[in-house]
Amino acid sequence: MFDWIQHIADWFVFDTLHLEKGNHLAEALNFFIYDTTKILILLVVVIFIMGIVNSYFPVDKVKNYLSRNKLYGLEYLMASLFGVVTPFCSCSSVPLFIGFVRGGIPLGVTFAFLITSPLVNEVAIGLFIGLFGIQTTLIYVVSGILLGTISGIILQKLKLERFLTPWVKEVLANAQREQDTFQIEKSSFQQRLPIIWAEVVKILKGIIPYVIIGIAIGGLMHGYIPEGFFEQYMNKDNLFAVPIATILAVPMYSNASGILPVVQVLVAKGIPLGTAIAFMMGVVALSLPEAMLLKKVMSLKLIGIFFGVVALCIILSGYLFNLIL
């Protein structure tokens, strides 16, 4: 489907610039042109489609729906599914956390949303389709939703409200369920299109620098790092490769658009896909900047429990990916 992009990249690098095939710079530049073009096209399409979905399910309605309806345990799954259609990064955690708590949503349900939202969204889906194909994308999306759902259930069962900061406890104690404020949307689809497109442009402006930086790093790794460099540390024969990859990801911070091109190169260098995805999940869902922000609303013990549960689920997901892919 994207062969024409590869032809353009080959023409520019080898015919126009006259770089030789096999040259480190040529391979890195070819990778950068091909992946940047392909990913940007996919992002425009996927973000536009998800923008249509998001126009009918804005986050305020999500909060109201989750706080007003008894879903008999399915609220964790619903929160994760809503997380898929909301393009928030992990460092949006504090305002989202406060908003959900203020709406009277249980802590575990809030965690389910906050875990899934940065991990599986239109950007991640668009990148995954372009880099790894539809089958792997579907498996990733399902596993990301289950990761948020299961983590939310576990965290709720632990009854962690006592580890919230005093300010958040006060918000919880005084939370009043608002009157139903759902307003009937009377605007037509044609009237919504300019708003949806403006949101697409806004999201693209925010993520394009990460996409370019991530692909540039991936291109340099693709062109200059020798074969076998990564395999010696995270190869399929290393039983502890997945937890090592997850732990190494915690000090880092990026969003899906920045880290996925790097993951593609790791896989191309011989790292098992499950191990590489565990690394990506760790970078996106767990990070020191996120921990510093969450310190405003959670005690250190709660942050540690939250990170521990999510890290465990990521590690299990990594092993599962390695088994089925």
Question: What is the structure's pLDDT at 299?
Answer: 87
pLDDT-derived band at 181 (thresholds 50, 70, 90) equals very low
Q: How far apart are CA 54 and CA 161, in angstroms?
A: 30
Q: What is the end-to-end Cα distance of the chain in Å, rounded?
A: 22
Q: Can you give the length of the chain in residues?
A: 325
Q: Is the pLDDT of residue 138 over 70?
A: yes
The reported pLDDT for the residue numbered 199 is: 74
Q: How confident is the model at residue 231 (pLDDT cuts 50, 70, 90)?
A: low
Q: Cα–Cα distance between 255 and 293 in angstroms, integer?
A: 16
Q: How many CB atoms lie within 10 A of CB 299?
A: 17
Residue 178 pLDDT class (50, 70, 90 cuts) = very low
Q: What percent of the chain has pLDDT over 90?
A: 7
Distance CA 100, CA 147 (A): 19
Half-sphere exposure of 193 (CA within 13 A, CB side): 4
Confidence of residue 305 (pLDDT cuts 50, 70, 90): very high
Looking at every residue in the chain, the average pLDDT score rounds to 77
Which of helix, strand or coil describes residue 78? helix
- pLDDT, one tens digit per residue, over 273-290 is 889 888 888 887 887 766
Digit-coded pLDDT (tens) for 45-69 = 767 876 776 676 555 666 666 666 6
What is the predicted pLDDT for the residue at 153? 92
Nearest to 323 by CA among 117, 104, 139: 139
Token pair 């305002």: residue: 95
* pLDDT at residue 94 in the model: 60
Angstrom distance (rounded) from CA 102 to CA 93: 14
- 29: amino acid identity, one letter: L
Average pLDDT value for residue range 316-323: 88
User: Which one has a higher pLDDT value, 318 or 69?
Assistant: 318
* Minimum mean pLDDT range among 88-102, 174-188, 309-323: 174-188
Query: Phi, psi (5° rounding) for residue 164?
Result: -75, 160
User: Which residue reads 């997380």 in tokens?
Assistant: 83
pLDDT of residue 228: 59
pLDDT score of 313 more than 60: yes
The pLDDT assigned to 38 comes to 80
**DSSP 8-state class, residue 90:** G
For the segment 156-167, the average pLDDT, to the nearest whole number, is 84
38: tokens are 């392909």
